[in-house]
Amino acid sequence: MALSLSERAAQHVSAFLSKRGKGLGVRLGVKTSGCSGMAYKLEFVDIENTEDVRFESHGVAIYTDAKSLAYIDGTELDYVKEGLNEGFKFNNPNVKNECGCGESFNI
């Protein structure tokens, strides 16, 4: 079981944490939402919860909860620029279908 960041995503997260002046890393999870059933959650972590599962990638800590890990195990978080748009991209090997807008998925 593992979660990872691409080198580019790790640099981006590190820069954001530095700019914020605080934070232990990022939390990646899922929530029930969207037209396909599930959506990703991504937020900064300032306090580690005892039930968190922690991974490290390129020097950045990634946290998740055990329930979410079942859906996102093996996921790599990347940071991409496509034309004028830029943002995080979830490369999740467990996804079977995604909605047309790219906001939700199912397994």
Q: What is the pLDDT of residues 29-55, one digit of tens each?
A: 988 876 657 888 999 999 999 999 999
pLDDT at res. 96: 72
Tell me which of 22 and 82 has the higher pLDDT. 22
Count, in order, helices (H) and strands (E) of the chain. 2, 9
Give CA–CA dist 26/77, Å, rounded.
Answer: 11
Start-to-end C-alpha separation, the chain: 17
| pLDDT of amino acid 52 | 93
Spatial neighbors of 102 by CB under 8 A, at least 6 apart, are none
What percent of the chain is modeled with pLDDT above 70?
Answer: 87
Share of the chain above pLDDT 90, in %: 61
Section 62-67 average pLDDT: 94
Q: How far is CA 29 from CA 21, 38, 39, 68, 71, in A?
A: 23, 10, 8, 5, 9
Domains delineated in the chain: 4-102 (2.60.300.12)
Tokens of 37: 């059933």
Give residue 98's pLDDT.
67
The pTM (predicted TM-score) of the whole model is: 0.85
Phi and psi torsions of 68, nearest 5°? -65, -35
